[in-house]
Structure 1
């Protein structure tokens, strides 16, 4: 009987994209079982790698001149499938694109994201999906709102640049000048982050330090975002800053909620766009994976979502990862995981493990289906 396998890994950070990992799994499976049917389904939680997993021969790739997080001119890629646009914000204002010694969180903003939204509207897109995550910014989405027409004013009525440093003098936010075409499109924000905009679990406190913010800057950024939210929400007579996901991408999630975006769990949306559920339903085995698999992987990340999907269809799910932490087998079974294996031999130095990840993943997949 033909073995039907779905290869649905996340990216292996610093070594393989999700697409490269899926291809390595497929190669390993076919090495042992040449007659197997392998569906490639690399996945993402909506953050970094979103475009890679959704790009295929049916989509149009656009490259649009925009501003990066520091206001520098760059070209950012986005996808169009019919009337749907797909934007990965990390491709525009990504933290990984800025050298550590050049990161200036107080001078960074999301104007480039708004520029891509306008580009998608001008291409006739009626639905715009934005994958949040991996940004160098913590501006509460002020930059995006500015590109879409909003004005940020000081006490004298002068227009402020939408960076945190300039928003120290924020006194008024004018949303009446927002682009009217926003009312004609559906915005969808894809993210698995549940942080609110402000507070101990908010954007600044949770993600600011990862972006280079000092403890003093974290406190100031939190106050700036609180003031921004107060000025906007008083106008709209609604409170959005406490909505789960408002703190995603340095508060970009909150700004998208302000302009009416519909929040969706990232993996859920990606799985829907890939029609992944149907592939899993008829498979004999699902192989997923990531760079490091431990208890945190079972708290809303890609691997957990894939395992739950497999469990709904009583399909065996196995995890292959660069490193596997100590995990109780009963806990794995409760999450729908039949087993988890490390692809890297014990004691392998990290540089060697990263360099050999693709080959090791292929070998691990071959061994897995040999014993299946």
Structure 2
């Protein structure tokens, strides 16, 4: 399979869907001179449309186009710019299908990078997947690999509902294998990125890669980690998470977004409600604190879960089991 970057994989998915379906078009600020510049000659300025710096206006235009049968892909520039289109996204895109009794659909994709950990300060560094999960009617994806980025984007464009795609900015240059052909990854399906037996780590965005790195370290210490990549915040694949917890008996949820009311809280509540009897230890959440992001690069780096903090939390979570294993080894040697 060819190796390409996360960003190229996602852009390829959009362009291939444009070739497959004439209703698909792209709109956003400076898209004609950005990632889609090379495609302007193929699709023309009608299907790769520059917009003014007016989120309320062009998000509203995209929603209107979707309501009349088109399939817009809005490139949002930065996910915190969604705030400027909050009414359009939450009151119009999310609710129209329900409020019109299913007579209208909004097949709209909104894509923007979640930019954080690069010293852009509070106005440009929020991680918003948890906030928008509070708006019924929206589907939300957070891919973590080039393969997932392409497969999920294809599914998002074909979905009859509004889908928000948060691309972790730190992953845009990540290289990975992407299958040839028309493959689609269904929305609402988590991915077990690594199988294990001692503890489940449920993660999303860049935290998935930190969890995988921590799992490598912990394996050398005798701790077997299962890493579940959420991928789809809404709909959330609760069954995969619960099955993993039933197998390992321990769970840690890792999310670089703030702690209160976030995705980590939802996963933890799901496990507490439906898998409490399987737990050998309390549920652990590793998240960012509930504070605005500081401008100081040093202070900002202290906010987010890391490979080291994940590994340390897993050791503590598994400590009674590891102590028992050590005692058994000592007894057998005697």
Q: What TM-score do the two structures reach when normalised by structure 1?
A: 0.30
Q: What TM-score do the two structures reach when normalised by structure 2?
A: 0.33
Q: Relative CO higher for 1 or 2, CA cutoff 8 Å, sep ≥ 6?
A: 1
